[in-house]
Amino acid sequence: MAKKIGKRIKCVSTKIKRVIDNLESIKRLENLSGTNCFIIVYIYNSKTDVYQKDIEKEFGITRSTASNIISLMEKKNIIIREKVDNDARLKKLVLTDLAKELAKDVINDLNQFEKQLTNNISEEELDIFFKVLDCMENNLEKGMIK
């Protein structure tokens, strides 16, 4: 029987989501998701201001999905949208003090998870894996698969 890449990726993705949603640093805050944590880490590590469009691009999500996630994160007291002096339409995303405290533990937990995920996989194998993932992502972006 032929191997089904999409199905396998979906299964692995589900398992990854389950593990990340149950990390200790994430479980500390009620209703915090793994996606929220990746966004927290992204903003925390960013050297420049972060805007909604940056989240859309970084995580490959639509504007409406990003808007919904950001709105929920605001309600959870994780981020604040701050006005930008030079453009009244733009609002940068800023972590609350609560999120800044959480970020270091989340980064540590995610680093441990990455080690677990890549255990017994060589650098060469990881390079090939990422090259293949890049090709698949490019195929999807080109609209080859509908």
How many whole angstroms separate alpha carbon 144 and alpha carbon 92? Answer: 34
pLDDT (0 to 100) of residue 143: 76
19-33, 37-51, 124-138: lowest mean pLDDT where?
A: 19-33
CATH architecture assigned to 5-141: Orthogonal Bundle (1.10)
Q: Which of 101, 115, 98 is nearest to 19 (CA)?
A: 115
pLDDT (0 to 100) of residue 144: 55
pLDDT (0 to 100) of residue 116: 94
Q: How confident is the model at residue 146 (pLDDT cuts 50, 70, 90)?
A: very low
Residue 35 burial by Cβ neighbours in a 10 Å radius (0-12, 13-18, 19+): middle
| 114 has a pLDDT exceeding 90 | yes
16-20, 25-29, 87-91, 131-135: lowest mean pLDDT where?
A: 25-29
Query: What does the block give as tokens for 73?
Result: 């994160």
How many whole angstroms separate alpha carbon 120 and alpha carbon 107? Answer: 22
pLDDT (0 to 100) of residue 41: 94
Q: What is the DSSP string of the chain?
A: ----HHHHHHHHHHHHHHHHHT-HHHHTSTT--HHHHHHHHHHHH-SS-EEHHHHHHHHT--HHHHHHHHHHHHHTTSEEEEEETTEEEEEEEEE-HHHHHHHHHHHHHHHHHHHHHTTT--HHHHHHHHHHHHHHHHHHHTT---
pLDDT (0 to 100) of residue 1: 60
- State the chain's mean pLDDT as an integer: 89
How many whole angstroms separate alpha carbon 146 and alpha carbon 144? Answer: 6
| 30 has a pLDDT exceeding 70 | no
Q: How confident is the model at residue 117 (pLDDT cuts 50, 70, 90)?
A: very high
Radius of gyration of the chain (CA): 17
